[in-house]
């Protein structure tokens, strides 16, 4: 039997939309679009995933994901249109 989690199965966004795990992008993406980044950022901001879960699920660095949140908070959806910085 699986242990019950206290994590919500869905998150309600301020505009009334419902975000569920089924709405999350696939794992192992080769290309991140602004729309995909937005879904992941919203899933963390509204409690569907923790930041750690998102980072591990998508193989992101903490720095990269933090920059997504920063750009989203500063510029909205358009802030997520920048490309990943080359290491």
Residue range 6-52, pLDDT digits in tens? 777 899 988 899 999 999 999 988 899 999 999 999 999 999 999 99
pLDDT at res. 1 = 45
Banded pLDDT at 3 (limits 50, 70, 90): very low
Higher-pLDDT residue of 5 and 14 is 14
pLDDT at res. 25 = 96
The pTM for the full model equals: 0.82
Q: How far apart are CA 5 and CA 77, in angstroms?
A: 31
Which fold is adopted by the domain 31-81? Arc Repressor Mutant, subunit A (1.10.10)
């Amino acid at each position: 039997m699986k242990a019950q989690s206290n994590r919500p199965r869905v998150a309600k966004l301020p505009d009334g939309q419902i975000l569920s795990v089924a709405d999350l992008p696939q794992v192992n993406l080769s290309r991140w679009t602004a729309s995909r980044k937005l879904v992941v950022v919203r899933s963390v901001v509204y409690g569907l995933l923790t930041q750690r879960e998102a980072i591990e699920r998508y193989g992101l660095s903490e720095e990269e994901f933090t920059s997504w949140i920063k750009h989203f908070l500063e510029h909205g959806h358009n802030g997520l249109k920048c490309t990943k910085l080359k290491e």
